[in-house]
Amino acid sequence: MMDSQLSRRTLLAAGALVALAPRPAFAAVPAVDQRFLAALGRAPRPAQPIGDYVPVRRSGRILYLSTTTARTDGVPDFAGALGAELSVEQGQKAARAAALAMLETVYNALGGTLAPVTQILNMIGYVASADGFYDQAGVMNGATAVLIEVLGPDIGRSTRSAIGVKAMSRQAAVSIAATVEVAAS
């Protein structure tokens, strides 16, 4: 009986010491990063420009982003013109993927987080369009929707232009350029 009481007291004392012992601090992943990574559905990859330019340029609190499109190994994930090879629904998926690629560039530029983003100031969407296709704005709603999903409406809803173009590099369906404001560092 004496040994079982001693063992019980020892266990309780050890448990108290463990509970009071300092623990390593683990930084919680910001909710915005959790939403981004869930929407992206894979590990972020660095931007791989297909020309002689930089994907992002920072000036103070402003990030200027080159056009981005969703690509795998340099090949667009969505190729073709809206109103010919692609439907509006497919175009919206292409715009969503391009917006996620744009956010991926921002995420990497900010050291692996979107937490410093205070506002998407402007987004320009270029939509490869067949003759007679006039729903570029409807296509770009796919990009706006994912920005709001990830960043929330106050940060993700921006001014926006949706421009129909005859053709784009490597037959990309949608390409996005953006201007992003971030918190002072």
pLDDT tens figures, 116-134: 999 999 999 999 999 999 9
Tell me what percent of the residues of the chain surpass a pLDDT of 90.
73
Sequence-distant (6+) residues with CB within 8 A of 43 are none
Question: What's the DSSP call for residue 65?
Answer: E
DSSP string, 45-58: -----SSSS-SEEE
Domains annotated for the chain, with CATH where assigned, are 31-182 (3.30.1330.40)
pLDDT at 142 over 50: yes
pLDDT digits over 71-116, tens only? 877 788 999 999 999 999 999 999 999 999 999 999 999 999 999 9
How far is Cα 137 from Cα 155, in angstroms, rounded to an integer? Answer: 20
pLDDT digits over 158-184, tens only? 999 999 999 998 999 999 999 999 999
Tokens of 86: 């692609």
CB 90 within 8 A of CB 120: no
How far is Cα 20 from Cα 36, in angstroms, rounded to an integer? Answer: 35
Tokens of 178: 């953006």
